[in-house]
Amino acid sequence: MKNRPKTAQSTKAMRRRLPPGILALAGVAMLAAAAPAIAAKQARQPVEAVAPREAGEPIMAIVSIKSQQVTFYDADGWILRAPVSTGTTGRETPAGVFAIVEKDKDHRSTMYDDAWMPNMQRITWNGIALHGGPLPGYAASHGCVRMPFGFAENLFDKTNIGMRVIISPDDAAPVDFAHPSLFVPKREAIAAVPNRADRLSAEAEEATRVADDAKKAAAAAAKEAASLPASLRKLEQQKSRTEAELAFVDKQLATAKTDQARVKAEELKQKAAAKAADAAAQLDAAKAAAQPKRDAVAATKEAAKAAATRKADAVKAATDAKLALEPVSVYISRATQKLYVRRNTHKPAPDGGGEVFDTSIEVPVTIRNPDQPLGTHIFTAMAKNDNGLRWSVVTIENGDDARNALDRVTIPQEVWDRIAPTALPRSSIIISDEPLSSETNYRTEFVAVLSSHPQGGFITRKPTAPMAVASDDGWDNGGFGFFFQQRDPYAQPVNPRRRGQYQYYQPAQPMQRSFW
């Protein structure tokens, strides 16, 4: 390390000894020597760029925290590039895997003094987003990814909910990739999807109508039978009173001392016996009439239950067929030893904000050498080709080589058979050491952060509040709904590497091993 006071003294002494002309030449020489370094530094500053070709629909965005740059890719390569400003020290933008969950043209921050965040594209519900903002040339945000104002505005209408956003600690880019474990769709299966979806949707609507009718019939039968217990209880009380009266008269007859008393008691007994017999007959008749009503209640209840089951099965099949028209995303976690599947239903969330993602597949997965890191690799179907789909891979954490990581995973064949035949471009498979973040819920695609990198801007924000769960009737007035498991956004950490930091997604109850 230089001794700054001595250096300053030496410089002053040199200035006193050298003539002014020589000092000027020395200054020019020093500037000339420094010019390449300054130029190199300026050259490293990211600049906005547009690919010299017609752009397709953006498939993914990759943010490099190291280079402070974002690049958007379509099926054929990069299309847009711009400088960014990510989170500053203590409020770092989390590196990981995200997707756009909401868009707001003129957003105002609810966390930071109503700050203007134009052309906001949210990637977590706790407040991390891409948006227009000032760019000082270095990381300076509270955790969001600021983009140039004009760039953010031009980009806003080009992206869709569910588009993958990858935030990498270093520079990363998609690389062409092929592997036998990746989805291989079948043309005939894809071609059959629309007709199958329409047919099953009609069946689901009919099953819903039948279930509603059965439910109404069960309610009517239950209402008609509701008064039976009170009526029968009243008749039983009446019968008990007449029997008691008859017993009292019998006692009077037995103790009668005179003929006149016996005659009178005999008359009273005949009347009491008639009343008792009439009360017993009324009770028996009421019981006989009640039994068919009770049987009707049981029968309509069972019919409603069976119709509800058929409705659920029909809606599930229709949902499966409809979702086959959407790209599918798979997340495989070494931390939880599970495989998760999601597809966007494009249904608006019932509690407002964003769209609903189907979450009905969550199954165990086998990983060879589970104690060894896999890394984090995002495999994406970029476009169709002669073999089915052309794939790329983006690696943002090197635990193992992408190919080796995929080789180490054994995915249940039943899951593959369910997904692969109708896989479409923009489908993806993510393999990671990380569990899903607790920010993952039914209004998000997958949210996973790298535990080995700072996440200040993520950790300091409140986790998403608990949200309502959609009922089986859905929101489309036709009973064609979707099924979701309640998620606990305050789940306990499951990753021992990051105890005491941000919490991770865990279902509030075990998921059933079923499909859409």
Residue burial 16-41, b: 16+ Cβ < 10 Å; e: rest: eeeeeeeeeeeeeeeeeeeeeeeeee
Please give the Cα distance from 454 to 65 (Å, whole number).
Answer: 11
User: Residue 223 burial (CB < 10 Å; 0-12/13-18/19+)?
Assistant: exposed
Please give the Cα distance from 179 to 431 (Å, whole number).
Answer: 14
* Half-sphere exposure in the Cβ direction for 266 (13 Å, CA): 6
Helix 259-323 with 228-254: angle, nearest 10 deg? 160
Q: What's the gap between Cα 405 and its chain centre?
A: 25
H or E segment at 197? helix 187-225
Q: What's the gap between Cα 446 and its chain centre?
A: 7
Would strands 145-147 and 129-132 be described as parallel, antiparallel, or unpaired? Answer: parallel
Please give the Cα distance from 14 to 73 (Å, whole number).
Answer: 56
**Cβ proximity of 126 and 178 under 8 Å:** no
Tokens 């009380």 belong to residue? 237
Would strands 77-83 and 49-50 be described as parallel, antiparallel, or unpaired? Answer: antiparallel
Return the structure tokens found at 396: 């943002």
With H, G, I as helix, E, B as strand and everything else as coil, classify residue 413: helix
First to last CA, the chain: 65
Q: What's the gap between Cα 94 and its chain centre?
A: 19
* Half-sphere exposure in the Cβ direction for 501 (13 Å, CA): 18
H or E segment at 417? helix 413-419
Please give the Cα distance from 142 to 103 (Å, whole number).
Answer: 19
| Four-residue CA torsion sign, 117, 118, 122, 123 | negative
Would strands 409-410 and 366-367 be described as parallel, antiparallel, or unpaired? Answer: antiparallel
Residues involved in catalysis: 131, 144
Please give the Cα distance from 380 to 425 (Å, whole number).
Answer: 8
Please give the Cα distance from 384 to 14 (Å, whole number).
Answer: 71
H or E segment at 301? helix 259-323
